[in-house]
Amino acid sequence: MMTAMPDSHMSHDTVLSAHSWADIDLSAVQHNFRRARELACGSRLCAVVKANAYGHGAPRIAAALHQVMQPADLFAVVTLREALSLRQHIAHRPILLMRGPLDANEMAVVLQQDFFWVLHSAWQLSLLQQAWQQGIRPAGGKLNVWLKTNTGMSRLGMPMSEVPAIWQQIKELDADAELILMSHLACADDLQESLTPRQLQNFKTLADELGLKDGGHCTLAASAGILNWPQTHFGIVRPGIMLYGASPMIGREGPDEGLQPVMNLKSRLIAVNQVRAGDTVGYGATFTAPQDMQVGVIGIGYGDGYPRHAPSGTPVVIHAQGKAWDAALVGRVSMDMLTVDLTGIPAQAGDEVLLWGQAWGASLPADRIARLCHTIAYELFCQITARVEYRYR
């Protein structure tokens, strides 16, 4: 929806007013993609749009990215369902299945649909060999497998010692195979961490052993590697969170990295209450008014995905009388509402509120809210529920 009108005029096509909405800025996701390209120039970009594009809506995010991608760039998701759904929206762009097929059925679909896929365990090689014996071949003629190895994270990926033999066995299938060596960094969010150089060294040793000297067929870096560890870029990088405008780095926020917020989470004041000194606010009576004060009730809560653990003091921005005002939570977040201190703010019921993102010249990075809640922006984005209306611009 292209419009410069204020949000309050945007849903006249419906009799329902949005209580809470995620205003999604598609030009920001394009900006952030270009930022990844600038940092990892020369590498192919594999844009990670798993988990519904980190809660932003995969179809619209992928369509926006597709417009700014180069021919060799691709998308990555985790489940086959995600891959099939994305294919419906973006027909002509490779899609990588980062967990690979789960069983023989999925293996057949992966080949027939021509998805790129990650082989992380030897049992998946058996699936491939069985499919091959049955005469199942990649629809586009080319087999695209990314072999994932464990260089130090010990999550998904086969031991490095197993890779050369599996690599060889795939070659022996006599397929037109394009093989990529893949691994994932455990601590790239922390610049002091010594595991990253050790993982990099392990990865390079294996790449050399496989004859991948120029690194073109290698991929190691996600957002944190892209932003801070240029030695990890190789031929393909896999940006996720940075596309959505948040920083993966400990203690940093999206704007510090030259990123723009994509999701601007908004709601409205639905009541303004006069509270007397000594009165308590909300469940558990965790906040006691130190003096007579105005408390605003905002129509968003954990039922919409706003984190319940946001403590008193967590900032919000209120748009009142044409200006942006900083306000802070008081008391507990409940399912449908949260409460804020309106001292000194001339706000009224109906005024719009920014929970994270940017609006009215104010900026409130999701990273900041996440830190106060002892989590990461990734989780905040993924937790937005279906009750929130998505508005794309």
User: How many residues interact with ligand PLP (rule CB under 6 A)?
Assistant: 12
Minimum CB distance to ligand PLP, residue 182 (Å)? 7
Q: Nearest Cα to 82, choosing from 119, 104, 57?
A: 57
Give the range of 233-241, 288-296, 310-318, 321-329 binding ligand PLP by CB under 6 A. Answer: 233-241
- For residues 188 and 359, which CB has a smaller minimum distance to ligand PLP in the complex? 188
In the set 171, 213, 283, 323, the catalytic residue is 283
Give the range of 4-12, 210-218, 222-230, 279-287 binding ligand PLP by CB under 6 A. Answer: 222-230
Between strands 116-119 and 142-150, the pairing is parallel
* Subset of 45-104 contacting ligand PLP (CB under 6 A): 48, 50, 98
Minimum CB distance to ligand PLP, residue 148 (Å)? 8
261 and 357 in contact (C-beta within 8 Å)?
yes
Give the burial class of 283: count Cβ atoms within 10 A of its Cβ; 0-12 exposed, 13-18 middle, 19 or more buried.
exposed
Minimum CB distance to ligand PLP, residue 239 (Å)? 5
- For residues 222 and 327, which CB has a smaller minimum distance to ligand PLP in the complex? 222
Output the CA angle 253-255-261, nearest 5 degrees.
95
Distance CA 311, CA 328 (A): 9
How many other CB atoms sit within 10 Å of the CB of residue 121?
16
Minimum CB distance to ligand PLP, residue 366 (Å)? 13
331 and 283 in contact (C-beta within 8 Å)?
yes
- For residues 189 and 352, which CB has a smaller minimum distance to ligand PLP in the complex? 189
Minimum CB distance to ligand PLP, residue 27 (Å)? 20
Kindly state the tokens that stand for 363: 């900026």
Known active-site residue 283:
yes
Alpha helices in the chain (DSSP H): 26-39, 50-55, 58-68, 80-89, 104-112, 122-133, 163-171, 195-209, 223-228, 366-372, 377-382
User: Is 241 near ligand PLP (CB under 6 A)?
Assistant: yes
Q: Which amino acid is at 267?
A: S
User: Is 222 near ligand PLP (CB under 6 A)?
Assistant: yes
Output the CA angle 29-33-34, nearest 5 degrees.
120
- For residues 77 and 269, which CB has a smaller minimum distance to ligand PLP in the complex? 77
Which listed residue (248, 261, 282, 315) binds ligand PLP by CB under 6 A?
Answer: 248
Give the range of 11-19, 220-228, 293-301, 325-333 binding ligand PLP by CB under 6 A. Answer: 220-228
Q: Which amino acid is at 72?
A: A
Kindly state the tokens that stand for 59: 């179809």
66 and 90 in contact (C-beta within 8 Å)?
yes
Which listed residue (196, 223, 264, 363) binds ligand PLP by CB under 6 A?
Answer: 223
Quick one: residue 327, left, alpha or beta (phi over 0 = left, psi -120 to 50 = alpha)?
A: beta
Distance CA 244, CA 237 (A): 16
Give the range of 123-131, 216-224, 278-286, 312-320 binding ligand PLP by CB under 6 A. Answer: 216-224
Give the range of 86-94, 163-171, 219-227, 312-320 binding ligand PLP by CB under 6 A. Answer: 219-227
Minimum CB distance to ligand PLP, residue 113 (Å)? 20
Known active-site residue 50:
yes
In the chain, the N- to C-terminal Cα span, in Å, equals: 5
DSSP designation for 18: P
Indicate the residue whose CB is closest to ligand PLP: 240
DSSP designation for 183: -
CA 268 to chain CA centroid, nearest Å: 25
224 and 189 in contact (C-beta within 8 Å)?
yes
- For residues 110 and 345, which CB has a smaller minimum distance to ligand PLP in the complex? 110
User: Is 181 near ligand PLP (CB under 6 A)?
Assistant: no
Give the range of 24-32, 87-95, 165-173, 239-247 binding ligand PLP by CB under 6 A. Answer: 239-247
- For residues 80 and 222, which CB has a smaller minimum distance to ligand PLP in the complex? 222
Residues that bind ligand PLP (CB under 6 A): 48, 50, 98, 184, 222-224, 238-241, 248
Residues forming the active site? 50, 283
